[in-house]
């Protein structure tokens, strides 16, 4: 596998973390843009954003084990960790495609990696929540 220079990664124009998760601190439900989000640009109150937002970084930015196929702008999925749980939030625009082909294979590989580290993988796609297993 080619070496990934994850230190050069950036959010660029990605705003999935402003849309996909529910953010209690902002009273923001899942799959709805934050009121401060400018789609394709980022947070209009970036310097004053809440603690929750300041602390968050998706795994694609921080985990060198995730290759460029996991770029949220390309795969329409955002991955992050919560203790032993690794969470995948699926952009509703992807529909059910995450269950098929390349996406399904990527998710099984990620589940395998998570379990090898003593964790597990949970996926949220709209109203659907499921544990993804490597088999």
Do 70 and 110 lie in one domain? The reply is: yes
Do 63 and 110 lie in one domain? The reply is: yes
* pTM to 2 decimal places: 0.90
Do 45 and 79 lie in one domain? The reply is: no
Q: What is the pLDDT of residues 17-69, one digit of tens each?
A: 999 999 999 999 999 999 999 998 999 999 999 999 999 999 999 999 899 99
Give the 3-state secondary structure of residue 105. Answer: helix
Is 6 a residue whose pLDDT tops 80? no
Give the number of other Cβ atoms within 10 Å of residue 37's Cβ: 18
Its domain, for residue 48, covers 11-56
74 closest CA partner among 60, 62, 86, 57: 60
Do 40 and 29 lie in one domain? The reply is: yes
């Amino acid at each position: 596998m080619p070496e990934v220079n994850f230190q050069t990664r950036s959010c660029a124009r990605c705003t999935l973390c402003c849309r996909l998760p529910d953010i209690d601190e902002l009273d923001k439900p899942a799959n709805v843009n934050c009121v401060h989000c400018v789609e394709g640009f980022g947070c209009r109150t970036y310097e004053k954003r809440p603690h929750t937002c300041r602390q968050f970084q998706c795994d694609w930015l921080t985990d060198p084990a995730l290759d460029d196929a996991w770029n949220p702008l390309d795969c329409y999925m955002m991955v992050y960790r919560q203790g032993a749980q690794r969470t995948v939030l699926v952009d509703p625009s992807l529909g059910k495609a995450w269950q098929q082909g390349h996406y399904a294979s990527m998710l099984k590989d990620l589940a395998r990696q998570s379990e090898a580290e003593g964790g597990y993988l949970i996926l949220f796609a709209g109203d659907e929540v499921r544990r993804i297993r490597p088999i």
